[in-house]
């Protein structure tokens, strides 16, 4: 006879000293019961508790509220998301709320805003995501669609928390596969881009400031937001080492420097003699050399901070002047290039993660784009072994 599935499962969680229950209609969710003593009768008592409280646990408040009424202004500072994040110490930069509001207002609400929130289904969202387009009928990238999904999931999670819906439809939708590869630069291209001849460097990068900027990006793999925030007091020249202390970043949303890094940890980065040379050249020319002054700044626009896109524009022009194909690459590809080169030397290393500012080994692996040269280098010591392995 086929086995009948139990409508309620019970499990003892020893680390929490409590029985947990799971219902057939929400198999992935374990709910804490009020039964806290493990005994022969514990499983039965927890099952009885589950039957008694099932309606209360999954009760949904009857509502005809539309998604637009519920979600308009969702990312504003006076709303639940911001208040709860602040109360729980989960600080987010201004760009997090700003970009979330853009995805919500430009894509989600125009399509689903008039629908009663409890009628928005996983199938409808999935079909919409497959067909959605950006401005000028441009196909949205998989990464953009995944960002929209994240925002939609946040909104529906809050609706579920307020018992307006019984489950989050986004939980049933698989994310789009993103192309995580990012083109790196070959050693030959790096040599073309950073010639040892100073006049050749100036022909490519135009000014000592941009020469210093580029050399530091190449040597450190700084995130652009970290490089923008550098001040002269971050420049470290002691104990035979030269580099920077990274403990802050430029926040695009707030348009100011804020403390902290993406990983939440401070780190030290090191630079080459070529970078030191151009940094010293720039220090001698810069009108701002006090310890608290920005090393790199712009006299264009509404504030002094160099904007990431402005730096990318200069970077692409420099690639062209160096005779290198742009091929969609930006200055951020220098970070991927450094990670790939160092990983071929250091392997899986805590030192590599410390230099790059990655919070996990998997992130370091995501930044690794080995060429054939790198891959054969990893197995070079095996060549002699293979020759005689079957002899």
- Torsion, CA 178, CA 260, CA 78, CA 104, rounded to 10: -10
Residue 277 φ/ψ, nearest 5 degrees: -55, -50
Of 352, 342, 337, 353, give the one whose Cα is nearest residue 377: 342
Angle at alpha carbon of residue 89, lines to 364 and 173, rounded to 5°: 60
Of 338, 332, 339, give the one whose Cα is nearest residue 363: 339
Alpha helices in 258-327 (DSSP H): 273-285, 308-321
Average pLDDT value for the chain: 81
Q: Which two tokens stand for residue 212?
A: 């210093």
Strand partners, 231: 294
Of 6, 9, 45, 12, give the one whose Cα is nearest residue 28: 9
**What digits encode the pLDDT tens for the residues 169-202?**
998 888 887 654 567 899 999 999 999 999 999 9
For position 379, what pLDDT does the model report?
Answer: 47
Determine whether domain 67-172 maps to CATH 1.10.150.
yes
Residue 124 φ/ψ, nearest 5 degrees: -65, -40
DSSP codes joined into one string, 310-346: HHHHHHHHHHHHTT---TT--TTHHHHHHHHHHHHHH
- Name the superfamily (CATH) of residues 187-375: Intergrase catalytic core (1.10.443.10)
pLDDT over 70 for what percent of the chain?
76
Domain ranges of the chain: 8-58, 67-172, 187-375
Residue with tokens 């692409």: 316
Residue 289 φ/ψ, nearest 5 degrees: -130, 15
CA–CA gap between residue 58 and residue 61 (Å, rounded): 10
CA–CA gap between residue 129 and residue 149 (Å, rounded): 8
For position 361, what pLDDT does the model report?
Answer: 59
For position 272, what pLDDT does the model report?
Answer: 92
Q: Report how far apart, in Å, the C-alpha atoms of 184 and of each of 262, 323, 330, 333 are.
A: 22, 16, 10, 6
**What digits encode the pLDDT tens for the residues 254-301?**
567 777 666 667 888 889 999 999 999 999 999 999 999 999 998 764
For position 288, what pLDDT does the model report?
Answer: 92
For position 1, what pLDDT does the model report?
Answer: 42
| Residues of the chain under the 70 pLDDT cut | 1-5, 26-29, 58-63, 80, 82, 85-95, 134-138, 178-182, 252-255, 260-264, 300-303, 348-349, 352-354, 357-391
For position 108, what pLDDT does the model report?
Answer: 94
Residue 99 φ/ψ, nearest 5 degrees: -70, -35
CA–CA gap between residue 182 and residue 333 (Å, rounded): 7
CA–CA gap between residue 263 and residue 272 (Å, rounded): 24
Element (H, E) at 58: helix 42-58
For position 107, what pLDDT does the model report?
Answer: 93
- The answer to whether residues 364 and 343 touch, using CB atoms and an 8 Å cutoff, is yes
Burial of 149 (0-12, 13-18, 19+ CB in 10 A): buried
Q: Report how far apart, in Å, the C-alpha atoms of 100 and of each of 73, 179, 193, 258, 386 are.
A: 10, 22, 37, 20, 54
């Amino acid at each position: 006879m086929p086995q009948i599935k139990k409508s309620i499962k019970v499990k003892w969680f020893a680390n929490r000293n409590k029985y947990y229950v799971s219902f057939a209609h929400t198999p992935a969710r374990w709910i804490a019961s009020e039964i806290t003593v493990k005994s022969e009768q514990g499983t039965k008592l927890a099952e009885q508790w589950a039957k008694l409280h099932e309606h209360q646990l999954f009760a949904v408040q009857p509502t005809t509220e539309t998604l637009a009424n519920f979600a308009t202004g969702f990312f504003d500072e006076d709303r639940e998301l911001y208040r709860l994040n602040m109360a729980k110490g989960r600080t987010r930069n201004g760009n997090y709320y700003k970009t979330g509001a853009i995805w919500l207002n430009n894509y989600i609400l125009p399509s689903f805003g008039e629908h009663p929130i409890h009628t928005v289904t996983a199938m409808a969202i999935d079909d919409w995501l497959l067909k959605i387009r950006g401005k000028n009928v441009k196909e949205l990238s998989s990464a953009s669609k995944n960002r929209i999904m994240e925002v939609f999931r946040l909104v529906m999670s809050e609706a579920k928390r307020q018992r307006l819906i019984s489950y989050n439809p986004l939980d049933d939708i698989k994310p789009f596969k993103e192309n995580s590869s990012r083109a790196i630069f070959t050693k030959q291209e790096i040599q073309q881009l950073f010639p040892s001849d100073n006049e050749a460097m100036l022909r490519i990068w135009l000014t000592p400031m941009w020469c210093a900027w580029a050399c530091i990006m190449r040597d450190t793999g700084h995130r652009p937001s970290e490089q923008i925030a550098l001040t002269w007091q971050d420049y470290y020249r002691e104990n035979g080492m030269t580099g920077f202390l990274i403990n802050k970043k430029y926040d695009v949303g707030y348009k100011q420097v804020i403390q902290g890094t993406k990983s939440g940890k401070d780190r030290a980065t090191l630079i080459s003699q070529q970078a030191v040379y151009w940094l010293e050249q720039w220090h001698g020319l810069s009108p701002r050399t006090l310890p608290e002054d920005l090393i790199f700044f712009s006299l264009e626009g509404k504030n002094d901070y160099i904007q990431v896109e402005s730096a990318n524009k200069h970077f692409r022009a420099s690639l062209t002047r160096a005779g290198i194909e742009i091929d969609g690459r930006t200055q951020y590809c220098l970070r991927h290039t450094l990670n790939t080169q160092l990983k071929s030397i250091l392997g899986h290393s805590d030192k590599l993660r410390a230099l790059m500012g990655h919070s996990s080994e998997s992130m370091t692996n995501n930044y690794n784009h080995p060429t054939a040269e790198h891959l054969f280098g990893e197995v070079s010591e095996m060549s002699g072994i293979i020759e005689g392995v079957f002899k």
